[in-house]
Amino acid sequence: MELTIKNVSKSYKDVKALNNFTITLTDGVYGLLGPNGAGKTTLIRIITDNMKADSGSITFNGKNIKEMGKDYRSVLGYMPQHNATYSSFTPKEFLSYIGSLKGMKKEDIEVQVPALLKNVNLSEVMDRKIGTFSGGMKQRVMLAQALLGDPKIVVLDEPTAGLDPKERIRIRNLISSFAMNRIVVIATHVVSDVEFIAKEIVLLKKGEIVHHDTPNTLSRMIEDRVYEIYSDIDKLDEISKKFEVSNIQKGLDRLAIRILLREDQNEDSLKNYEHNALRASVEDVYLHVFDEEREHRVI
């Protein structure tokens, strides 16, 4: 399978949301990362045929999705950012309704709905009103509806928004479990959602791709620049001014401060502090690429 997005652009008045965006996606999970306003949601809406691009094209297995029409929508599963369930419906009723809107056969709906609800661990509450569910349970309902009809392309827009860490991990594991033989696109600003399950990660900024590679390759971009400083709390302000701080962990008697060296710094910059080199993560890369404060800092 191959989904090719070629030279797609979209503007809102004077704001360029996407600028000649080009990428080819094959089977596997792709993480689409970027801050608010990067163009993630605009791209998702265009991929799902909910918005028209100003220019460019999208093809699936060589066919233009505009010409495919309902044939394209039949291979597409979409989980929008904002919860779109009906409070008065049960999960079973809601999925059956969505299945009918997708044009699925009644017998297929009757087989797939209970199976999908079992996969997202909602079998025991399939006849309970969705309005009584927690945020995480509602997200799992939406994830299940995105998988109705066995779609070949699954697009998830901020699938863990507003969830606690436990539910976020649950959703992430569910996504990983169904990603085989599908193109899965996850748009998010939560790096941990995709760092360990994505085949490739796309860093999007102001409508353009700034980096696109495997998580390991992206992490090597800032190799030898991530350290942990061990310090008393009274030096935190000093350290924060000198380095890019990505995390602070409080120990029994001192702080462990994860930092990123800037372009004009090296390990010699740390000679006055007890420190240790760390392996860079995709989150470190994200903070480095999208650190607006660093971009506007006067040196």
Cα–Cα distance measured from residue 186 to residue 29, given in angstroms and rounded to the nearest whole number:
7
In this prediction, residue 173 has a pLDDT band, given cuts at 50, 70 and 90, of confident
Cβ-based neighbours of 90, under 8 Å, separated by 6 or more = 126, 127, 128, 129, 130
Is residue 295 pLDDT above 80, yes or no?
no
pLDDT at 292: 53
Buried b (16+ CB within 10 A) or exposed e, 176-203: eebbeebbbbbbbbbbbbbbebbbbbbb
Render pLDDT for 202-217 as a digit per residue (tens, 0 to 9). Answer: 999 999 999 999 999 9
What pLDDT was estimated at residue 296?
42
- The pLDDT value recorded for residue 293 is 45
Q: Using one digit for the tens of pLDDT, what is the confidence trace for 52-72? A: 999 999 999 999 999 998 899
Q: Give the mean pLDDT of 103-118.
A: 94
pLDDT tens sequence across 150-168: 999 999 998 887 778 888 8
Mean pLDDT of the chain: 90
Half-sphere exposure of 82 (CA within 13 A, CB side): 2
pLDDT tens digits along 128-146: 999 999 888 888 899 999 9
What ranges in the chain are assigned the alpha helix state H? Answer: 40-47, 65-68, 70-73, 91-101, 106-119, 135-146, 165-177, 215-219, 236-242, 282-289, 292-295
pTM of the model: 0.88
Is the confidence at residue 197, as pLDDT, over 50? yes
Give the pLDDT confidence of 223-277 residue by residue, as tens digits.
899 999 999 999 999 999 999 998 999 987 899 999 999 888 999 999 999 999 9
